[in-house]
Structure formats: structure tokens, C-alpha cells
Homo-oligomer: A and B are copies of this chain.
């Protein structure tokens, strides 16, 4: 039984269980810090490095002045949300004993360019709203699937970050000029 559970959706659910046990006995263990480092590569190109992984490249479409070599930052944001929801479905389905046969999440967000382009200085430069269409294929009962959808929406780190106002501290440090 343990072996079967451990393989549902290919998720190593014991690791999640161990973490839950750890945090239950030591709540401070739930405090995590995540980081990324971005390097500007010229024009509108840049790349984000996380731990030892391949940098995530970024660019803008030609219509926005870029060289169109990679997804742009707002598309990456949608991707991060979708990837986060995918983890949420895998984790919550597994603890509920639901097998996922297939899962695809299509994300869309609408954004008005006036503020980004400096044409509406006090406006909102970001997404006005974001839609995520969840295409889930499973044999589970409809009630169980509905509860799964609710659990994922209620626990998504990226989803909650977007739905709440997050304090953002953009801080220039050690301004290193003049360079010559």
C-alpha cells in the first residue's frame, strides 16, 4: 500500500509527509527564503539564474522594441502561475488518492501598456486580471474533483502572491559608478 501510494502521479508523497511532520513539530521550519539573480544581457534581453540551473532567458517582442528571442517577463509570470498550479494539482490529488491522467493549464492575462510606456504615470502597469483554464483528465468522482480544484486554488503560493498586494522593496545598492 505504501508503495502504491508513493507512486501515485509519480509524486514522492513521503517527502511531503515528512516535511509536514517536521513543520508540525517545529513551525519555524516553514519559514523559507527563495532567491533569483538576474543579469542584463543588453537591449531588452536578460536572464534569471536560480541555484545551479540553466538561466531563464527573457526578451521582448519586436513590437515592444526587443529582439524576440525568449518569452517576456509577463509571459514568464503566467508560466510561473501555471507551473505552481500544476504542483498544487499533483500534490493535492496524490494526498487524496486521485490519479491524474493528464493536466494542462492555459493562462491569459490582459495588460494595458499606457503606464509601462510612461503615458499614464499613476496608472497600473500590470495585469488587470488573469484567467487560468484547467484541463484535467481523471477518473475521479466529480465531487472529489471539485474538492481538488478548491484545495489547489486555496493553497497556491504564486496564486496567493498575485491575489494579494505584496510589499516590494526595489533598492539600489552600492551604485558602482563612474566606471572609468
Contacts and interface: CB of A to CB of B under 8 A. Distances in A.
Contact of A109 (B34, B77, B155): B34
A38 B83 contact: yes
Interface string A56-90: 10101011111100111111111111111111011
Contacts of A31: 110, 112-113
- Identical copies of this chain, number: 2
Contacts of A169: 129-132
Contacts of A124: 160, 164
Contacts of A62: 15
Nearest to A48: B79
12 contacts: A10-B43, A16-B65, A23-B113, A33-B111, A40-B104, A48-B82, A50-B78, A128-B166, A142-B175, A153-B170, A162-B162, A162-B168
